[in-house]
Structure 1
Amino acid sequence: MAAERTLPNLWHATAPAAPETKPLATDITVDVAVIGGGFTGLSAALHLAEKGVSVAIAEAKMIGFGGSGRNVGLVNAGMWTKPEDLIATLGTQVGTRLLAELGDGPSLVYQLVEKHAIACEAVRNGTLHLAVGPDGLKDIRDRERQWKTFGAPVEVVDADRTRSLTGAQGFSGALLDRRAGTIQPLAYARGLARAALASGAQIYTETALQSAERRGDLWKLGVPGGTITAKSVIVATEAYGDLLRKTPWKAHTQELTILPYFQFATNPLSDNIARTILQERQGCWDTGLVMTSFRMDQQNRLIFGSVGRLDALAEGTHRAFAERSLRKLFPVLGDFRFEYWWDGRIGMTTNNLPQMHVMAPNVFSVSGYNGRGIAPGTVFGRALANHVTGEPNALPLVETPLTPDPWRTLKSAFYHAGAQAKHFIDRRF
């Protein structure tokens, strides 16, 4: 993996401290080894430990290093794909079940937050999918119709109500999804880690998987300081699977197109201004061709994001676009500055749905959250924990063959360059 720039990440600055962990420095044996310390891996480890199953996480960097410490923090219900399209792709039985489990995904997240007293700025007042123009309004109305078929508490609100809820100018309406909400994502990940440790799980950070060897019915996993022997393995690295180095299990990353996503966070806004923006603290994203998002944190910082990577060449373009956008959306803002900025990776699949693979005997992986990592990661972590312990029909997805996308590198480059070009010209007039 190419070296990443160290950027001032708001979530790292404001999350409670991570529980103390160390690299693995010996040989251990457990029932289940989990590779990756993000939402999926931590949820799997927590649910396994609560069942009394011995489990160890091997995390190449630190808890929440990948998407779990970089995303927007929207706890969305379902997937980006519309319900009817999801069912058309997966079939009625699998599709209906997946819609139900992921529709209830935010409930699982907030239940874990409450059960384990996770301090993560949790707010559950819904999210707003903002319509850009007539086509955007048509899109969210179609989403409302489809979700209501499944009994979801969603509603389209008109332009005036959208302006009142957000304080933002220029949207034709919004789809309010009352199942959803926001959290401080890294704080949530660290809270899951603390709960997993308290339940008996082992977590080793700075412990990169370097080898995997099948010995009889067991796997022997090599890391720099020792080995992990386990009957089952859960690979939970998603878009950061290239950290698996030379092991064959990084292959699932080859089916993911990497969509880069950046965020800028302002200084804390004054109480007078903050009262006019997102009064109910919904998280927002729009229907634009190149999506943008915004939300507030507990300290009244306004956080704006869009597609793009903050490399040395592109950062200035994206920063200027973020500033122009906030001034146009919120004329009341006045003077502000960006205190934090960071980026991350979204793993996109060709059908915009997650994929479940059996990568080798007793080696399981789910990836491809397509920008919906928090609730689906938590749900699939629990499902994988149930599956490896023998619970029948535990997984809401059927196994699919690993199918690398030959165009992934080209598509990833296109997203990066295309977003930079669009942001160079957008909202200048």
Structure 2
Amino acid sequence: MAEQVCDSLWRASAPAGPELTPLSGEKEVDVAIVGGGFTGLSAALHLAKFGRSVAVIEAQEIGFGGSGRNVGLANAGLWLEPDQLDQELGKAAGKVLYDALAVAPDLVYQLIETYGIECEPTRKGTLHAGVGASGLAQLQRRFDQLSARGAPVQLLNKEEAQARIGSATFNSALFDPRAGTIQPLAYARGLAHAAIKEGAQLFDFSPVIAIESQSEGGWLVKTAQGVVRAQQVIQATNAYSAFAAEKETRKFVPIFYSQLASKPLNEQQLAAVLPNKEGMWDTCTVMSSARMDQRGRLVFGGMGNVGGALASWATQRVADLWPALGKVEWEFKWTGHIAYSEDHIPHCQQLQQGLYSIAGYSGRGIGPGTVVGKELAELITGQREQLSIPTTLLRDIPFRELKRMFYEVGAHTYHLGQQTGTLR
């Protein structure tokens, strides 16, 4: 997906990534990885740690895609309720995936600590904020299902939720102490540094133009200036599959998600908004999110492409949620893409022997991407027999473009409803 480098808060505040060069000439490694995001970098780090030679080939810069543009909530699990996961995969497979991702934040924060990754990590939990009767009912279901599986979640009542969020809009909240916030691009760059430290080779600004199987076994991964010979290939580009993988992009719907970051708030304003500094998102039909960064900026996000209409909605929505802030001035605005799979579950497709393609994180990439990368490394090195995510081939999504347009128009219409007061 052709896209420009975004003028994001994360790009302005992240420590520098490793100094890399484009791929040139011919390299030979055990595993080639296409994509320098959370999944690819986690796979590279762990493969190198397990003694495999590995090359990461990134079309732009490290963390260029969703890994460097997202909200930065390091959550446990997926968007789906646990019972929905069981319905989609069956109880046995659903439990395997639930158990793997329930501890995903542990792996994220362990890597941050082990490799000294400077990414503004906090682990104060996250809040799923309820709006209206349907929102409360949804959170009650999630609480019941998560508690039954041993998750240490808490269902906050109206008074507790409003105190923790600082807004009278919400009637409840589900607090998950396992989770936290990070600076996502800084985390991606930190994983890149760690992978190099373990022995991986990384190349940036090297768009892949072909992946070809060899009659004698193995693969050639080609760019305009170089080629990597590898026994196995991991394609980990999610919503940013730009090269000749058009047939793969038909298996998910790319959705815009945009964020805006304020100027640093003053002391009085900071006390009024998320005073404990948890990250949050709401139960509205068209979700929005909010968090603080280390310098006291409010980072607010919603579905849709950033621009005049979305920025206008965000300004009014923030004023409605937190009247003490008044009209917020936005210092940064940026957009990324979410890859929605049909079942909202990430899949790893083994397209051919030794060629893996991972996509469909559906807006939950930090924890799951880190876990899946590690699991791929374990699978390739014989330390596990199968992944926790489904490995079935994804079907093309029918009417994919119409569905994308439906999401976009629906989000815009919903935001207009919130602005006019007809929707909460």
Query: If the length of structure 1 is used for normalisation, what is the TM-score?
Result: 0.95
Q: Deviations over 1:256-310 (max 9, x none)?
A: 0112100011000012211222122111101101111111000110011110012
Match for residue 293 of structure 1 among 281, 289, 310: 289
Answer whether contact 1:265 1:341 (CA < 8 A) is retained: yes
Report the counterpart of residue 316 of structure 2 in structure 1.
324
Report the counterpart of residue 375 of structure 1 in structure 2.
367
Give the Å deviation of 1:5.
Answer: 5.3
Say which SS state the counterpart of residue 275 (structure 1) adopts.
helix
Q: Is 1:418 aligned to residue 407 of structure 2?
A: no
Answer whether contact 1:324 1:428 (CA < 8 A) is retained: no
* Sequence identity (%): 43
In 2 relative to 1, CA 365–5 (structure 1 residues): closer, same or farther, beyond 3 Å? Answer: closer
Report the counterpart of residue 405 of structure 1 in structure 2.
397
What letter is aligned with 2:334? Answer: W
Answer whether contact 1:294 1:305 (CA < 8 A) is retained: yes
Give the Å deviation of 1:214.
Answer: 1.5
Give the Å deviation of 1:250.
Answer: 4.5
In 2 relative to 1, CA 203–288 (structure 1 residues): closer, same or farther, beyond 3 Å? Answer: same
Say which SS state the counterpart of residue 11 (structure 1) adopts.
helix
How many residues were matched structurally? 420
Q: Deviations over 1:131-180 (max 9, x none)?
A: 01011001001100000111001011011111111112210100001111
Say which SS state the counterpart of residue 146 (structure 1) adopts.
helix
Report the counterpart of residue 353 of structure 2 in structure 1.
361
* CA–CA distance in structure 2, aligned partners of residues 421 and 239 of structure 1: 24
* CA–CA distance in structure 1, aligned partners of residues 417 and 99 of structure 2: 41
Report the counterpart of residue 274 of structure 2 in structure 1.
278
Give the Å deviation of 1:116.
Answer: 0.5
In 2 relative to 1, CA 396–5 (structure 1 residues): closer, same or farther, beyond 3 Å? Answer: closer
Aligned pairs for 1:217-228 (under 5 A) are: 217-228=217-228
Report the counterpart of residue 346 of structure 1 in structure 2.
338
Q: Deviations over 1:188-214 (max 9, x none)?
A: 000000000111000000111111221
- Which stretches of structure 1, 4 residues or more, deviate above 3 A after TM superposition? 4-7
Give the Å deviation of 1:224.
Answer: 1.4
Answer whether contact 2:76 2:104 (CA < 8 A) is retained: yes
* CA–CA distance in structure 1, aligned partners of residues 10 and 113 of structure 2: 20
Q: Is 1:187 aligned to residue 183 of structure 2?
A: no
Say which SS state the counterpart of residue 28 (structure 1) adopts.
strand
Q: Is 1:45 aligned to residue 37 of structure 2?
A: no
- Taking only aligned residues, the RMSD between alpha carbons, in angstroms, comes to 1.3
What letter is aligned with 1:93? Answer: A
* CA–CA distance in structure 1, aligned partners of residues 146 and 160 of structure 2: 21
Report the counterpart of residue 55 of structure 1 in structure 2.
54
Runs of 5+ in structure 2 lacking a partner? none
* CA–CA distance in structure 2, aligned partners of residues 374 and 392 of structure 1: 22
Give the Å deviation of 1:414.
Answer: 1.4
Say which SS state the counterpart of residue 240 (structure 1) adopts.
coil
Report the counterpart of residue 238 of structure 2 in structure 1.
238
Answer whether contact 1:7 1:342 (CA < 8 A) is retained: yes
Aligned pairs for 1:161-240 (under 5 A) are: 161-215=160-214, 216-240=216-240
Answer whether contact 2:316 2:327 (CA < 8 A) is retained: no
What letter is aligned with 1:405? Answer: I
Say which SS state the counterpart of residue 197 (structure 1) adopts.
helix
Runs of 5+ in structure 1 lacking a partner? none
Answer whether contact 1:283 1:295 (CA < 8 A) is retained: yes
Say which SS state the counterpart of residue 231 (structure 1) adopts.
strand
Give the Å deviation of 1:334.
Answer: 3.2
Match for residue 308 of structure 1 among 304, 308, 312: 304
Say which SS state the counterpart of residue 239 (structure 1) adopts.
coil
Answer whether contact 1:48 1:385 (CA < 8 A) is retained: yes
Give the Å deviation of 1:51.
Answer: 0.8
Give the Å deviation of 1:410.
Answer: 0.8
Give the Å deviation of 1:335.
Answer: 4.8
Give the Å deviation of 1:364.
Answer: 1.0
Q: Deviations over 1:115-140 (max 9, x none)?
A: 01101010111110010101100100
In 2 relative to 1, CA 406–28 (structure 1 residues): closer, same or farther, beyond 3 Å? Answer: same
* CA–CA distance in structure 1, aligned partners of residues 163 and 391 of structure 2: 45
* CA–CA distance in structure 2, aligned partners of residues 6 and 97 of structure 1: 37
Give the Å deviation of 1:353.
Answer: 1.1
* CA–CA distance in structure 1, aligned partners of residues 416 and 311 of structure 2: 10
* CA–CA distance in structure 2, aligned partners of residues 7 and 211 of structure 1: 26
